[in-house]
Structure 1
């Protein structure tokens, strides 16, 4: 111990003996993770609420179709999104057809497992997404997959299930989409009675009003609302408002800052209008997507490292816009 260290120790001892308060500040407590802070989420009315019943708005990023951008499904990327981008939620978008889970089930499932377990380790929420446009044609496979996921992870409050990414325009909510959800939900609830399930809606998860008018019975059910800011504007916000007014809880598991095809100009003005709407109604969101594909919706430029760290020069226009929003709205 050097002279100065000895002097400090003697001073602290004298202050203690004389009854003086030690003014040396204590080490700050380690900051809570989002899951430590919010705990077990549930649905109350049109809101996702935390363990105390207070409305919660999660914000984060969605990974791209797993079979095409699977390199990003790694623990380092999840950690970077939490720490540098201040994600409170990430979404593992497991591709189903087109060379995805139906053709390579173990390979694609392992990518989801990697992201889920990284999110649990980091203390953030994670959406397990059956990324399919025709999931009602794959009911048996979806039931088996979600049964396994619920058995593995149902005890963790981190997990959110998304059984049907984007039903197309044609399937009927009442006779095709809703029964599919009910079948998958029944499998999940055998093993996980509590965690939130976010159910896809007709027309690429835009017709949340139909689901609100004919809701799925059960606890902790929300409905998926997807939008792309340059394509879907006030008309879709009006549909969302109708659903909210009927008591439906909405969760934007995917949105883009550009056009619905993933390209075109990033619409910053409309993106901000959407964020104002989501903030006003406490609706959680994930941005599409963590990818380096050469398209406007990607957050990263082509050739960017899949593990991070990502500098400003690695980010696309959309990536910069979304990261700034995440940082500006990050909870202290």
Structure 2
């Protein structure tokens, strides 16, 4: 009965506010919460996909419970040079996700530390969406060269910035080497509540030692797979279905949330839709990921 009352009261976000308990992500009833979905590609190149139609398509076609808005920063037409496009694209996806009753990750899509700009960005977004349990903040996409000590200091500053506005916001913290050295964060975690650490895996490139490191880190920190692909880290090449299934089995058994990269129509393997740009035109990768996660949703 309690669960029914909770669901009815929170129909705009059936899972409710996320938190961490014993290094596991849980919902408002302290039950394990696992999200599966599809992330959008860089907004500055693929803003045509930043629409309510696409959000609802992710929910219906993939049974997705989460999407991710990748707000590019330094690139042409990115946040730093064209903020109007960035915020308009982001708000369209966040508002549509709230209306659809799914989670949405606000991703500061960069490879370098930009502390001042990130604080300004997340201050604006957290102020707009304060109290919205649908919204998750990913404060740094993929550190290319920053050490864990640098990432940790940056993350503490950003966590404090967001929490000063929304004290219960759920926050994703990056890890070194494009979000692959999860064990470094596990060895020296941040002293903060309700955060998880991101892991990005492209199975055709990354060695299985990364899987061993993730397994060893689970007892120390919560992990969130905010990007996974069955192709190489370049975003192209053949799909390694066997290794992909191995990673998905690990995520499912460990109740680690994960999202595919990404909704774009470029002629490369990581595109979820084909070059026609039609949502009905799923690529090999799009079909593989759809068939994979709909087994569990």
TM-score by length of 2: 0.94
Shift of 1:71: 0.6
Shift of 1:294: 0.6
| CA RMSD, Structure 1 to Structure 2 (Å) | 1.4
Residue of structure 2 equivalent to 1:26: none
Q: Distance in 1 between matches of 2:12 and 2:289?
A: 22
Q: Deviations over 1:156-206 (max 9, x none)?
A: 1101000110001x31111x1111111111110011111210011100001
Residue of structure 2 equivalent to 1:171: 146
Residue of structure 2 equivalent to 1:72: 49
Residue of structure 2 equivalent to 1:320: 287
Residue of structure 1 equivalent to 2:258: 285
Alignment of 1:1-332 (within 5 A): 36-99=13-76, 100-134=78-112, 136=113, 138-168=114-144, 170-174=145-149, 176-245=150-219, 247-305=220-278, 310-311=279-280, 314-330=281-297
Shift of 1:34: 7.8
Q: Distance in 1 between matches of 2:99 and 2:211?
A: 35
SS in 2 for 1:231: coil
- Conserved 8 A contact 1:60-1:286: yes
SS in 1 for 2:69: strand
Q: Distance in 1 between matches of 2:296 and 2:130?
A: 29
Q: Distance in 2 between matches of 1:36 and 1:74?
A: 19
TM-score by length of 1: 0.84
Shift of 1:326: 2.1
SS in 1 for 2:199: strand
Q: Distance in 1 between matches of 2:263 and 2:11?
A: 20
Count of residue pairs brought into register by the alignment: 289
Residue of structure 1 equivalent to 2:3: none
Q: Distance in 2 between matches of 1:35 and 1:229?
A: 34
From the CA coordinates, give the structure whose radius of gyration is larger. Answer: 1
